[in-house]
Amino acid sequence: MQFPNLGSDPTGAGDHPTRKRVEVSVDDPAFGKPIEATVHHASGTWSAPLGALSRGPHTVYARAAMDRSSYSEAASSTFTVVSAASVEWQVVDKNASPVASSWRRAAGLETWSFGFDTATYGSGAKTIVVRLVQDGLETARASARARFR
């Protein structure tokens, strides 16, 4: 997105718009209540607080503006807000229950992974427990038996 063209100053009056800004709007292509973004001129980027958005799909619109009368065409991007979620894991002795304070976060969500040193847990029969936590609540759990030597 580029700021509108200033044009020429044929009269030499210097009456061209000078205040450059970026306006952002969420789910409103008409910019009824635009949010003014912070423009980082050196990097050519901007940032804006979008507030607490409800779960689901949203579209953010952005346009360059000069003063209050000159606007670029709006650019847009669609995204989806999902609930806070993470995969957590722990290793326990066979038939033991997981300990509430011992959950560790795995890397990733849709594709997740974790690693550990079996020597940390000693030898013997173990259970590796993995759970999905969404909005602070456990929504799924799986386990696998293992023997550490």
Other CB atoms within 10 Å distance of the CB of residue 22 = 22
Structure tokens at 33: 């209540």
Q: What pTM was computed for the model? A: 0.55
Structure tokens at 129: 């427990």
**For residue range 47-82, what is the model confidence (pLDDT) as tens digits?**
999 999 998 999 999 999 887 778 899 999 999 998
**For residue range 84-122, what is the model confidence (pLDDT) as tens digits?**
899 999 999 999 999 999 999 999 998 999 999 999 999
* CB crowding 71-106: b at 16 or more within 10 Å, else e: bbebeeeeeeeeeeebbbbbbbeeeeebeeeebeeb
- Sequence-separated (6 or more) residues with CB below 8 Å from residue 60: 24, 25, 26, 50, 76, 77, 79
Nearest to 50 by CA among 83, 86, 85, 23: 23
Domain residues of the chain, as ranges? 20-81, 85-148
Whether residue 2 has pLDDT greater than 60: no
